[in-house]
Structure 1
């Protein structure tokens, strides 16, 4: 046996005889169907190869001395902009009242249209400057919802209520009346302006970025920036403060593909009642690494919500609190691409499998047609 004959025996694709090669209409239909299937699978595999997937890794958070950006975009439909303030406090003891750096607000009409813009300012700076001592003696209700606007009932060393508490309350009421009478004309005009805005159903949209220290703390939006006496003149009681709100966006850093901020789109509307909303947030430091090797530092978070309704004897002022804490673990999300060899392997599998399946289907159809046609031929003879 010659070398050529030995090589020919290795041919895995022997040629059939010419008379055995017969083209049929059923074979053409199966071929067209097979080509469509193979083209569809090829496009699918190509898109799968060009897409990226993510791999998550966890490690200890080693960041130090950095700030935490808080992106806020909220609407308060029942409170005008002049009475709202953004306050922040953290575990390091840093306490900021009525933050105005990179924080803006939009005046909203009762039907939700923008009617004016202005920079966040403290309505009662004038009132506080008018009587600075009263402002510090009564303070502001900032510490996790504990009320500092009014003095608490005095108690003795055993915790029993002082019998002179009612006398002291009456004394405070008389001091309040005398203080309100001492407001200058400008402050009274501002109070009238705010009351008119509330009568018109004005709301406020607050947006911007807070840069806070990277430690646990809270920020809240409320009327705590107001002087206590001015607040009483405007609302005639804390249970009349309606902190209904809509959270359009609340995030702790830039967005990355696939991020989910659980508070986005939150709507909390109060009707005939008042109270304090508290959102307990757990922040997870996150790094998103693109396939281009660019790194995006950001944060994702989970949240638990709690609402505390106001009661007649409560002395706290309603607010919306966001109490946050940071996880010691950093999550790294890395984009990966599939290898080219993986793409070729899958492509050969789907195309070869489709070709083999259509070949089997063609043979079955040909034999079926033969079985149907042969009896007819015999009957004709």
Structure 2
């Protein structure tokens, strides 16, 4: 089964594509709840202001842009489903309920060039290094706290103890 709402877009994969549901029961109910999101796909980011203007005004003179090779106005959806056996006095079947969301999602494919790719890679690597540094500091801090607790209990290895006036002191005090 393939279900879509709007024109075909090559990389759009819908949740119910290639879905098959069967049952041995005679009275069975398949119920699907769809949340449909209007979506604009474009490969030309310079069209975004025009696409937003056309989306606000359906009588806009540039509405033909949606049917060009650079922009497609379609819909994508999310689905949840329920299926169960029903009693003989209920209606079996396939039921689809849907809501159209009040937002429009715009997906713009763009190529920024090699320099932008290099900057993004440096940013990702820097972020990983910063997060790793924080993790190491937290680990080091935890080990220091754990070491203090061990020393205060006198469980540390190689502790030198001195006894003076009835109080026990370590060499580190």
Normalization by structure 2: what TM-score? 0.49
